[in-house]
Amino acid sequence: MDYFAQQLINGLVLGSIYGLIAIGYTMVYGIVGMINFAHGDIFMIGGFIALISFLVLVSFGLTAVPLILLIVLLVAMAITALYGWTVERIAYRPLRHSFRLAPMLSAIGMSFILTNFSQVAQGARVKPVPPIITGGYTLHEGASGFNVQLSNIQIIVVATTVVLLALFTWLVSRTRLGRDMRACEQDQTMAALLGVDVDRTISFTFVIGAALAAVAGMMYLLYYGLVDFFMGFVAGIKAFTAAVLGGIGSLPGAMLGGLLIGLIETFWSAYFSVEYKDVAAFSILIVVLIFLPTGLLGRPEVEKV
Amino acid sequence: MSAPSSAPLPAPSHSQNTSGIATSGIAFILKKAVISAFVALVLFSLMIGVRTEAGPEGHLIYWTRFGELAAIVAIVFGGSIIIELLRQWIGPSGAGRLVPPWLQDAADLIGRWLAPALLVFAILIPVIFYDQRYILDLSILVLTYVMLGWGLNVVVGLAGLLDLGYVAFYAVGAYSYALLATNFGLSFWICLPLAGILAAFWGVLLGFPVLRLRGDYLAIVTLAFGEIIRLVLINWQDLTGGPNGITGIPRPTFFGIPLSNDDDGLAAKLGIEFSPTHRVVFLFYLILALALLTNWVTIRLRRLPIGRAWEALREDEVACRALGINITTTKLTAFATGAMFGGFAGAFFATRQGFISPESFTFHESALVLAIVVLGGMGSQLGVVLAAIAMIGGFELFRGLDQYRMLVFGFAMVLLMIWRPRGLVGHRAPTVFLEKNQAISSDLVKEGHG
């Protein structure tokens, strides 16, 4: 039972990270109708920028950990958001009215560019960081010596996710920008006729998605203590799975899907086999798409001729 | 950036760049370049300006590289000016599409003779370059990708199903041959059809669940399928040897006669002196024959009802269904046929290398083959050949710059999509026509949902 509780905690933390990435996929899919294949790599870039800015700040002599974390978070979000904007501007916008496969292939190309750019720029080796946030609480002391732990870092990951989600939900449901986004999602031409700047709205979608992915990247860095240039690929597919599982286009669905994928992966590793955890995640993607193509919270897609 | 608030029209087809052409001028170009340079500065400030590496004691150290950063920002600044000048010089996009008739005729003439010329040249390669092992090896590699491209072309180019996991069938073929040959001692010529059949079987297995999926979803599921196969190959150590792969895969024989230096080898039987080049030449003709078989089968299939159903499916799935075409069999045969050729190519790869490991079957490989098909113009057999030569040749050129290879590949893919989304040979010649075979310009064809 203790073991189960511990896995539950771990799964929820991992799921929060996936959920943050999944929101980027689901938003872009909802508005532009394409899979932003490079989104996983945006997440990886976010992790790298968090790492580098952290190193630089520490070497400047900053010691207050909360201040460092806040600055790192803001820097990573800002720069990664610019990456998201640039990717959309270079690789997707010229293809918006092209035929259907073109943006997908361009996105794959972009994914290669980002992966190999960070490999060339920062080297191929895994970058480890010492644990920045230590300590935690023992929730329950097990009889057999197995304690259920809740570390501070796990609290921070979940808390950051919750705060960002609240902020994000407010943005989508209450602000002008959010209204524009929802309008573009329903009908771009009509939205444009009514005075919504479609190009700018789509750019903002990418910017927000990238900023959330940067947070996910930073949380990943804090939680696992390492980044490498290839981590975006698998994390990206899993987050996409989460978006599909929750129903693509649905924001609460993305978060729910993220949590579910995190839980499934953690429990699979804990009770079955660690080697096949990625296989489990990918299989879920296939199974969901076959039996539940609209996901848990998604709307059925109406086919227009 | 131009003012975004000015009268938004429905579906503005181009970015703000085109609206800027009206206000062309040095000030505008400079402003754009400065903005680009500033964006580049922010983007690369940390990623290039600071280099991190694990230090001697395990923890990270970093050093700054402001020189490189400045150089890249300067390149972006200059590049932005050049691109903007070129754009204004060429004029609005679309004007360059009008090709003069004489050029069109010349292109038609070249197009008609290019394929036979290439074929003759391919057959003569071992004769011309007999002493140059490097060129022979490179030609074998190119032909392998030509074959893979033609195989994937059935799925992507003809049936319009975007398959990102094609390498899975390549892997199935390679491992089928390797396992059958090393465990049961079966010869290459028995294993080759078996590898094809097994790969086709896996193609159907993948095809069934994805029947209802379209477009992007299909792409992601096939990608996941490819990754699953690779992960199973890595982790099922008892059978596949895991990351270490399978070694000692038997070399192909000339229909039972080994190409070795023994008394019963082919050289001894023919009474000529043995040379290791014989095997390379044999492999070359083997893959050439396999590739031509793929091409021939594809061309024949296109004339059969099933091939026409594929093409119809690519153009419009709903219309297909309305006309009574069986979508299930059409899609499954496309997957199976494509997978079978992938399996053949895999078996050839295994016998040529003598060693296979899951590392050869990553997503990069799928993307490379897909890029060849797309660059070739999706559906054009000749285009695949040209694209394979360009891609593999290009990779060879960048051999020294190993790290930058995939970077360049990514840029090529993005630029290609922006510049010519329909590929180099970007038209679709219909197989069925009324009176006169008229190539449809790719710009006029609207994609179905495949």
How many angstroms separate the CA atoms of B396 and B390, rounded? 10
**CB-based contact A268:A277 (threshold 8 Å):** yes
pLDDT of res. B47: 86
CA gap A260, A239 in Å, rounded = 11
CB contact under 8 A, A109 and B217: no
pLDDT of residue B424: 64
Please give the pLDDT value at position B241.
Answer: 82
Query: Looking at residues A114-120, what average pLDDT do you find?
Result: 91
CA distance linking residue B331 with residue B156, whole number of Å: 11
Q: Is A140 helix (H, G, I), strand (E, B) or coil?
A: strand
- Return the closest-CA partner of residue B313 out of B296, B294, B326: B326
pLDDT tops 80 at residue B280: yes
CB contact under 8 A, B414 and A282: no
Amino acid (one-letter) located at B396: E
End-to-end CA distance of chain B: 37
Structure tokens, A36: 């932003």
B413: its two tokens: 């893919």
Tokens of A124: 């191929």
Q: Tell me the β-bridge partners of A175.
A: none
Q: Which amino acid is at B286?
A: L
Q: For residue B266, what are its two tokens?
A: 């082919």
- What type of residue is B221? V
Tokens (6 digits) for A198 = 């479609």
Measure CB to CB from residue B318 to each of A106, A193, A303 and give the nearest one. A303
Show the tokens assigned to B443: 């710009």
Number of CB pairs, chain A paired with chain B, less than 8 A apart: 216
- Nearest residue to A76 via CA among A235, A221, A223, A226: A221
Tokens 């992007």, residue? B216
pLDDT over 50 (residue B267): yes
Position A82 confidence tier, pLDDT thresholds 50, 70, 90: very high
Judged by a CB distance cut-off of 8 A, whether residue B162 touches chain A is yes
What pLDDT, in 10s, does the model give residues A9-31?
A: 999 999 999 999 999 998 888 88
* Residue in B323, B348, B320 with CA at minimum distance from that of residue B334: B320
Q: What is the mean pLDDT of residues A276-294?
A: 83
Mean pLDDT value of segment B277-288: 87
Q: Which residue of A has its CA nearest to B11?
A: A189
pLDDT at A190 over 60: yes
* DSSP letters for A73-121: HHHHHHHHHHHHHHHIIIIIGGGTTS-THHHHHHHHHHHHHHHHHHHHH
**Substitution target from A32, A104, A197, A244 for chain B, most B beta carbons within 10 A:** A104
Among B298-302, B338-342, B415-419, where is mean pLDDT lowest? B415-419
Burial bucket for residue A104 (CB in 10 Å: 0-12, 13-18, 19+): buried
Measure the CA–CA gap between A262 and A154, rounded to whole angstroms: 14
% residues pLDDT > 90 (chain A): 37
Cβ-based neighbours of B13, under 8 Å, separated by 6 or more: A97
What count of Cα atoms within 13 Å lies in the side-chain half-sphere of residue A23? Answer: 28
Position A42 confidence tier, pLDDT thresholds 50, 70, 90: very high
Per-residue pLDDT at B430: 52
Whole-number Å distance between alpha carbons of B7 and B29: 23
- B52–A127 CB contact, under 8 Å: yes
Q: Answer whether B159's CB lies under 8 Å from B334's CB.
A: yes
Which of the given ranges, A295-299, B76-80, B181-185, B241-245, has the highest pLDDT on average? B76-80
Structure tokens at A67: 């201040």
At residue B170, the pLDDT reads 94
Give chain B positions within 8 Å (CB) of A303.
Answer: 318, 449
Length of chain A as a residue count? 305
Which SS3 state, helix, strand or coil, does residue A151 take?
Answer: strand
Task: Tell whether B193 is within 8 A of chain A (Cβ).
Answer: no
Enter the tokens of residue B248. Answer: 């000692």
CA B445 from chain centre, in angstroms, equals: 22
Q: Is the distance from CB of B35 to CB of A85 less than 8 angstroms?
A: no
- Measured between CA atoms, the residue of chain A closest to residue B61 is A55
Q: Hey, which residues does B52 pair with through a beta bridge?
A: B62
Cβ–Cβ below 8 Å for B10 and A125 = no
In chain B, what are the domain boundaries?
Answer: 24-92, 112-419
Of residues A99, A279, A289, nearest to B217 (C-beta): A289
A49, A130, A192: residue with CB nearest B9:
A192
Chain-centroid distance, C-alpha A16: 9
- According to DSSP, residue A266 is labeled H
Interface test with A, best of B2, B14, B32, B46 (most A CBs within 10 A): B46
Q: Is the pLDDT of residue B14 over 60?
A: no
- Mapping DSSP onto H, E and C, the string for chain B reads CCCCCCCCCCCCCCCHHHHCCCCCCHHHHHHHHHHHHHHHHHHHHHHCCEEEEECCCCCEEEEECHHHHHHHHHHHHHHHHHHHHHHHHHCCCCHHHCCCHHHHHHHHHHHHHHHHHHHHHHHHHHHHCCCCHHHHHHHHHHHHHHHHHHHHHHHHHHCCCCCCCCHHHHHHHHHHHHHHHHHHCCCHHHHHHHHHHHHHHHHHHHHCCCCCCCHHHHHHHHHHHHHHHHHHHHHCHHHHCHHHCECCCCCCEECCEECCCCCCCHHHHHCCCCCCHHHHHHHHHHHHHHHHHHHHHHHHHHHCHHHHHHHHHHHCHHHHHHCCCCHHHHHHHHHHHHHHHHHHHHHHHHHHHCCECHHHHCHHHHHHHHHHHHHCCCCCHHHHHHHHHHHHHHHHHCCCCHHHHHHHHHHHHHHHHHHCCCCCCCEECCCCCCCCCCCEECCCCCCCCC
Cβ neighbours of B406 in A, within 8 Å: 112, 115-116
Residue of A96, A114, A117 to mutate when probing chain B, most B C-beta within 10 A? A117
SS3 A293: coil
> Is the Cβ of B303 closer than 8 Å to some Cβ of chain A?
no
Q: What are phi and psi of B50, to 5 degrees?
A: -125, 130
Q: What is the pLDDT of residue A85?
A: 94
d(CA B372, CA A260): 37
* CATH node for B112-419: 1.10.3470
Find the closest chain A residue to B62 by CA distance. Answer: A55
Bridge-based pairing of strands A226-227 and A127-128 is antiparallel
What is the rounded distance in angstroms from the CA atom of residue A297 to the CA atom of residue A238? 18
Q: Which two tokens stand for residue B396?
A: 């060879």
Residue B104: C-alpha distances to residues A153, B93, B99, B109, B115 (Å): 66, 20, 7, 9, 17
- CA nearest B164: which of B212, B230, B243? B230
A39 is written with which tokens?
Answer: 């989104």
Q: Which amino acid is at A273?
A: S
User: CA of A106, closest CA in chain B: separation in Å?
Assistant: 5
What mean pLDDT do residues A101-124 have? 88
Q: Mutual orientation of helices B277-303 and B327-353 as an angle, nearest 10°?
A: 170
Residue A44: pLDDT above 70? yes
Pick from A66-80, A90-104, A179-193, A195-209: least confident: A90-104
Average pLDDT, integer, range B271-290: 84
d(CA B35, CA B16): 14
Cβ atoms within 10 Å of A151's Cβ, excluding its own: 18
Q: Do A188 and B11 touch (CB under 8 A)?
A: yes
B310 within 8 A of B170, measured Cβ to Cβ: no
pLDDT in tens, B60-99: 788 888 888 999 999 999 998 888 888 777 765 554 455 6
Of B52, B219, B224, the CB nearest to A286: B224
| Selected residues 357-376 of chain B with any CB under 8 Å from a CB in chain A | 363-364, 367, 370-371, 374
